[in-house]
Amino acid sequence: MSALTQLSSSIAQAPRWYEHSIQTLDTVRITPIQGALGAIVTGINASLPQSAEVILALKQALHEHLILVFKQQQLEDEQLLSFASYFGAIFKPPADIPVLATQTDTGLPPDVVPVSNAVGAGDYTGHGELTPHSDHHWTPQPSSGSLLYAIELPKDGGATSWYNTVQAYADLDDDARQEIDQLQLITYNPFLRIKSGGPFPKYRFSNQPVLGAAFPHPLVRTHSESGKRGIYLDTHTEVEVVGYDDQRGAALIEKLRAHIVQPKYRYEHQWETGDIVYWDNQVTLHSRTAFPAEQRRLLKRVSLAGNRPF
Ligand SMILES: O=C(O)CCC(=O)C(=O)O
Ligand SMILES: [Fe+2]
């Protein structure tokens, strides 16, 4: 028999209903965060087998609040993976499309990606600022959501913010909404830019070379389950509006980017060890502030598979 994948063995080894108590809804509290988005979830042990009512309540809460912050968890990689897999399949990009933590032998990232400056060869994200983005936006089927679990945190900096792109879309005036409703956007793969040594333009003008395969997605994305509509646009990754001339496209994108990053659409999370944040990649962006290189920060991420955006 061939060796099990990390995902299969995590689920195979997960606690059984007949051996352990099951997490029921009685103790779970979901408290909305005042402001742009998010809810805090307490009274849940993510390492237990979860009841159907808990998973359904969490899915419902995610659709409503767009990010969920679980407090005081203590998980091995396998437990994080088996908890995440209640919400969907694990994200696997095509092997010819590089993403964060793509391995040279398989062309795929591991199921559990260290987001860290502290684990040596796996320090994929360093200690610098990360600009607002949605995970795997440049792939044909970007990730629907990601879970990030905090293990070690720096004393200073390294806060992560999420942006509510549904509210940002709703607040546009009628003309602006009408202009963008039918547009398609190409987001170019930043990992190919990194490989080529830059530069890192924010918009591709027609006299600039195209790097890698281009997958146009709607600029206004409809959430596959809630039906909510949001502006699907990273703030710094290179993009191109399909069928628009350079000046008009670049001006439109600059205006939308300035609109989305307004503080009224943002929640900044100050991490505590044991937090898991589960966010929706369809209708939020996220960013991270820098932190000192000499301070350790280790989180683990699992990204869930997604549909072709519509
Ligand atoms: O380091 C962080 O806080 C966020 C990193 C990130 O963008 C991600 O895990 O997708
Ligand atoms: Fe990310």
Q: Give 14's Cβ-side CA count (13 Å radius).
A: 24
pLDDT one digit per residue (tens) for the chain, 310 residues: 456 777 777 777 776 655 668 999 999 999 999 999 999 999 999 999 999 999 999 999 999 999 999 999 999 999 999 999 999 999 999 988 988 888 888 888 899 999 989 888 778 888 999 999 999 999 999 999 999 999 999 999 999 999 999 999 999 999 999 999 999 999 999 888 888 787 889 999 999 988 889 999 999 999 999 999 999 999 999 999 999 999 999 999 999 999 999 999 999 999 999 999 999 999 999 999 999 999 999 999 999 999 999 9
Cβ within 8 Å of residue 168, ≥6 positions away: 230, 231, 259, 260, 262, 265
Angle subtended at Cα 69 by Cα 63 and Cα 72, rounded to the nearest 5 degrees: 145
Residues 88, 277 contacting (CB under 8 angstroms): no
Q: What ligand 1 atom has the least distance to the C-alpha of 158?
A: 3
- Does the beta carbon of 285 sit less than 6 angstroms from any atom of ligand 1? no
**What are 150-165's pLDDT values in tens digits?**
999 999 999 999 999 9
b/e map 195-223, b = 16+ CB within 10 Å: eeeeeeeebbeeeeeebbeebebbbbbbb
Domains of the chain as residue ranges with CATH = 6-154+267-304 (3.60.130.10), 165-260 (3.60.130.10)
Question: Best substitution site from 129, 163, 301 to test ligand 1's pocket, by max atoms within 8 Å of Cβ?
Answer: 301
- The H-assigned helical ranges of the chain are 6-13, 52-65, 77-84, 165-170, 174-180, 190-196, 246-260
